[in-house]
Amino acid sequence: MRTVLLGALTLISCQSGDTDQAQRRSGGDGRVFDPVAFDTLWSLGEHADSSFSYLWSPRSAPGGGLYVADIGNAQLHHVNAAGELVWSYGRRGQGPGELMEVRVISVDPRGNAVIIDNLNRRIVTVGRDGGLLSERPLPKEAGHTAALAALDDGNFAIGHFTGPWTLLSKDGGFLQHIEPPWEGFADKPFLEVVGQAIPVRGSTRWVYSFDAAGEWIVFDGAEVLGRYPHIEHVPFPEMLITRTEHGGTTVSYEGSAPITTADLAVRRDTLFVLYHGTTEYSGRVMDRYDIDTGGYLGSILFPSRTTGVVLGDDDVVYAVSDSPLFPTVTALRYKPQVP
């Protein structure tokens, strides 16, 4: 048994006999589960008087808490490490300080939250105190943005529905499109190229992981450093093109495209992928990878399904649920178990 120390986050992965047991539990997909248990520290939003509507895209905030998007209310919330709602920014609308879409967020090196508001075509930066710092136009080259990584050099790396990735300047201006690392990318349907992005602090690297395809890519600015598979491979359904009687075409798929990457987190040089996929552990498993090599390091199994994760301090993980009844943020402290 070896211990992997990642700052305050201590995770244990197993070898030999423990590996066999983990593989049997995961249906033989190759995962090795770290022997951990969880204590619930607090849960916010589980009561009928909660103001949360539909939570999405949690990201680490300064001081050990998190920022989390509330799609239903068109707001950004800051929850601290004690489980207190510190502030909520925004309201639905098109005027200054208002938001129409808050699904895509990142955190810049200074701890400010950056929001891509696609419907208002704005890049919105919210300060650590919840005040508006800037609203900048989203350039047309950004298309409809689906993912955002605020890099250490101040630039923004984005993924969108209509093509490969794009770099924007710290002022929101277009810098360049990023060429995909393989041929045929332009022919893929948009469902196959949409994904999640997250910066790697201490560098200009960032990671992009596809929502409905079994791989992830490491970039340094606009340069592709590596392309790696997920431990659980989920093939994308075959696309069917049918010609209509009027000479046009329609596109359909053989079955639905299962969501693979639900969320991402990074601690130093380790990538954490909250994975949905198709196994019995869908939405409960978080896989770990070495960002430098793409190597698989092990997996964590959560006690219940979740849609977003943030790595906190002192062995705490924040799990976000998008339950339509009571969307919640829950703080879990994990305890390594000795087999």
The CA angle 262-265-270, to the nearest 5 degrees, is 125
CATH of 41-336, one of 3.40.720.10, 3.30.1330.60, 2.120.10.30, 3.30.200.20: 2.120.10.30
Q: Per mean pLDDT, which range of 79-88, 98-107, 155-164, 220-229 is the poorest?
A: 155-164
Q: Per mean pLDDT, which range of 45-59, 102-116, 232-246, 301-315 is the poorest?
A: 232-246
Give the Cα separation of 263 and 119 in Å (integer): 23
For 76, the token pair is 């950004």
Global pTM exceeds 0.75 = yes
**What residues have CB less than 8 Å from 131, skipping those under 6 apart?**
none
Per-residue pLDDT tens for 114-154? 999 999 999 999 999 999 999 999 999 998 999 999 999 99
What average pLDDT does range 229-251 have in this prediction? 76
User: Coil, helix or strand for 264?
Assistant: strand
190 phi, psi to nearest 5 deg: -60, -30
Q: Do residues 54 and 61 make contact, with C-beta atoms less than 8 angstroms apart? A: no
Q: 296: which strand partners?
A: 289
Chain CA centroid to CA 135, Å: 23
Residue 275 has pLDDT above 80, yes or no: yes
Write down the residue that tokens 């211990």 correspond to.
3
What's the pLDDT score for residue 39? 94
What average pLDDT does range 283-308 have in this prediction? 94
What average pLDDT does range 10-27 have in this prediction? 35
For 43, the token pair is 């849960």
Q: What percent of the chain has pLDDT over 90?
A: 59
How many Cβ atoms sit within 10 Å of the Cβ of residue 237? 17
Indicate the Cα dihedral angle 330, 257, 324, 276, nearest 10°: -20
Band of residue 1 on the pLDDT scale cut at 50, 70, 90: very low
Band of residue 48 on the pLDDT scale cut at 50, 70, 90: low
> Of 43, 82, 81, 76, which is closest to residue 57 (Cα–Cα)?
76
Per-residue pLDDT tens for 162-205? 768 999 999 999 999 998 877 766 666 666 788 999 999 999 99
Give the Cα separation of 316 and 335 in Å (integer): 10
DSSP class per residue in 56-79: EEEEE-GGG-EEEEETTTTEEEEE
Where in the chain are the domains? Answer: 41-336
